[in-house]
Amino acid sequence: MSTISYFSHDSNARNSAKLIKLRMGLGLEGYAIYFMILERLREAKDYKSSTDYDMLAFDFRTDSEKVKKVVEDYSLFSLSEGHDFFWSKSFDERMTLKDEKNKRLSEAGKRGAEKRWQSKADSHPNSQGIGANSKKRKEKKSKVKKSIYTHDSSSQVYDTDDPNYKLAKLLFEEIKVNDPKFKQPNLQKWANDIRLTHERDDRSYDEIEKVIKWVQKDDFWKTNVLSPAKLRKRYSQLIMKIKDEPQQQSYTQQDDFQRQLKEAGIDF
Q: Are strands 85-87 and 49-50 parallel, antiparallel or unpaired?
A: antiparallel
Do 117 and 34 sit in the same domain of this protein? Answer: no
Confidence of residue 262 (pLDDT cuts 50, 70, 90): low
Residue type at 16 in one-letter notation: S
Q: Are residues 46 and 77 in the same domain?
A: yes
Residue numbers of the domain that contains 38: 13-87
- The verdict on 245 and 191 lying in the same domain is yes
Question: How many angstroms separate the CA atoms of 69 and 67, rounded?
Answer: 5
Asked whether residue 128 falls in the same domain as residue 173, the answer is no
Helices in 2-88 by DSSP H: which ranges? 17-43, 53-60, 64-72
- Assign 79 to helix, strand or coil: strand
Q: What percent of the chain lies above the pLDDT cut of 90? A: 48
Residue 97 covered by a domain:
no
Question: Is 200 within the bounds of a domain?
Answer: yes
| Judgement on whether residues 80 and 112 belong to the same structural domain of the protein | no
Our count of domains for the chain comes to: 3
Q: Are residues 167 and 249 in the same domain?
A: yes
SS3 content of the chain, % helix, strand, coil (to 5): 70, 5, 25
Contact assessment for residue 191 and residue 165, using Cβ atoms and an 8 Å cutoff? yes
Average pLDDT of the chain is: 81
User: Could you report the per-residue pLDDT of 23-43, keeping only the tens digit for each?
Assistant: 999 999 999 999 999 999 988
Same domain, 148 and 206: no
Res 115: pLDDT: 78
Alpha-carbon distance of 76 to 33, in angstroms, equals 12
pTM above 0.85, yes or no: no
Which pLDDT band, with edges at 50, 70 and 90, does 250 fall under?
very low
| 259 and 189 in a common domain | yes
Residue 210 has pLDDT above 60, yes or no: yes
